Structure formats: C-alpha cells, structure tokens
Amino acid sequence: MKDEIFSLGKLFEDVQMQNVFTDSKSFVDCTPNSKSEFIQQLYEEQKNEPEFNISTFVSEHFALPKTYSTGFKSEAERPLKDHLELLWNELTRHPEDSNNSLIPLPHSYIVPGGRFREIYYWDSYFTMLGLQVSGRDDMIQYMVDNFSYLIEKVGYVPNGNRTYYVGRSQPPFYACMVKLLSEVKGNKILTDYLPQLEKEYNFWMKGSELINTNNLSVHRVALLPDGSMLNHYWDESDTPRPESYKEDVELAHKSKDKNIMYRHLR
C-alpha cells in the first residue's frame, strides 16, 4: 500500500534532508498536485538551475496538510469535564477521500490533534474509555468498525491510518475495544467481530510454527526460556521512517548496523 509521495526518489530524500519543513511528518502528509513521475521528472530537469529553490518547488507542486479550525477556545474557568466534552467535536474527523498518505476510513473518528491528523491504534482505546464516560456510544461503535475495516483492508491495525505506518502496529488493543463495545451493546456482538479478532491474532502469531530452541524468534513471535511465546514489534521494512526520515538517517550515522537500527526504530 503506497502513495504518490513515496515514489519521488531523490526529491523525497532532498526535501526531508534539506529542512524544507521543520517537521519531517509535514511532507509525507502533503498531497501531490500531479503524478509523482511527472513531479520527479520536473525536479530532475530544474534542480541544477541557478535560481532553483526547493522550497518554492515543493509549494508549487504539493498541497500542504489540511488544517482544521472550529474556533475552539479553552477557558480557564470552564470545568475540566466540560472542557473534555467540548473537545470531542473539536477532535472528530469525518470520512473523506484521499489521494495522499491518509487511508480513508468508513466512519468518523477521534484524532489526537495538532500534527497528528490521523487515528492512532492503542491511543484510541483510552480515547474510547473517555467516550464511554461521555455516553458517546455512537463514536465507540464507529471506532471499532474503523479498526475492523483496517484489519480487513490491511490484515491488521497499522500504527495509524497512514500508508507510511503500514508494516507497523502498536499494542493490540482491538480485543479490548470490542469488549468495551460489548459493555454497551451486549455480549451478542462479540461474535460479529470474531473474524477480525482471529485475523489480527494470526498477524501477530505468523511464523510461530517455525519457532524452536534453535530458532527463537520469527517476525513478531519469540520463544521464552519457559517454553511460552511472546509477541514483540517487528516491521517488514528496515529503512528510515518516512515521517521521521531526517532524524532516523542522522541517528543511523552512529549505528554499526543501520538496517537493524531502522527496524528497531519502526
């Protein structure tokens, strides 16, 4: 699952390494105004011209990440509970089409806010605990169904609904989310999500049949001394994280094995 911005080759590397944006995440959240092949060709043709400016080039060929503003203002005298209740709408995002790194979701969802313009996996469980207290059963349902959609589409729940997070996950709270929803809807709904529960479990346990005393770790599964198995994080890729590209590359200069370090960072 890729998008246009990751097919930019040298342009992608140059933008991230030359501080066009103060935050590496900004560029991977941009939207190309045309096909990546065309933009890349223009860049190769123009980059060595005397008056060329890479920041100007980016502004001409990419749309900046969308900003959301509802005019919300924090008031010191407002009780904390009321403040949090008002934030639900402030942090709600609705389904929309995407031709950038965002993976569109079928239902509304809650984002952390600020530079984090997408949903995040394990954060969302604790958000849902707050939604439960607020009586927002509708949003709890939406969130569970969004993660179910990601499991069906991707095979598991990525770190967040961005293409550059595919390959990575976070603590698997999906079962906890389904359990939370069952407290609202009743245990009868548990079987509705059984296919997704099994699919996520299989993702984390992939390769476990190859585990033995001579092969202690395969992908996301590791064998412990007592014979039990433990899951750990593992990414298919061993390259810099696109959203932290410059930071990862600079850190790798201090590492003996860059690829191992990149995989650990992911």
Tens of pLDDT, residue by residue over 234-264, are 998 999 999 999 999 999 998 889 999 999 8
Which pLDDT band, with edges at 50, 70 and 90, does 85 fall under?
Answer: confident
Q: Quickly count: other Cβ atoms within 10 Å of residue 121's Cβ.
A: 23
Which pLDDT band, with edges at 50, 70 and 90, does 25 fall under?
Answer: very high
For the record, the structure tokens of 262 come out as 């990149």
Give the C-alpha distances (Å, rounded to integers) separating 188 from 184, 204, 212: 11, 26, 39
Instruction: Look at residue 11 in the predicted model and tell me its pLDDT.
Output: 96
Q: Please determine, for residue 29, whether its predicted confidence score (pLDDT) is greater than 80.
A: yes
Average of per-residue pLDDT across 68-73: 71
Average of per-residue pLDDT across 57-85: 83
DSSP 63: E
Q: Please determine, for residue 2, whether its predicted confidence score (pLDDT) is greater than 70.
A: no
pTM of the model: 0.91
If one compares 68 and 98, the residue with the highest pLDDT of the two is 98
Q: Please determine, for residue 114, whether its predicted confidence score (pLDDT) is greater than 80.
A: yes
Rg (C-alpha) for the chain, rounded Å, is 21
Which pLDDT band, with edges at 50, 70 and 90, does 81 fall under?
Answer: confident
If one compares 6 and 217, the residue with the highest pLDDT of the two is 217
Which pLDDT band, with edges at 50, 70 and 90, does 78 fall under?
Answer: confident
Angle between helices 137-154 and 194-205 (to 10 degrees): 50
Q: Please determine, for residue 212, whether its predicted confidence score (pLDDT) is greater than 80.
A: yes
Which pLDDT band, with edges at 50, 70 and 90, does 4 fall under?
Answer: low
**Cα–Cα distance for residue pair 243/211, rounded to 1 Å:** 33
**Cα–Cα distance for residue pair 239/181, rounded to 1 Å:** 37
Instruction: Look at residue 75 in the predicted model and tell me its pLDDT.
Output: 78
210 burial via Cβ count (<10 Å: 0-12, 13-18, 19+): exposed
Q: What is the mean pLDDT of the chain?
A: 92
Which residue is it, tokens 């560029």? 27
Average of per-residue pLDDT across 106-112: 96
Angle between helices 258-265 and 245-252 (to 10 degrees): 140
Q: Residue 193 belongs to what H/E stretch?
A: none
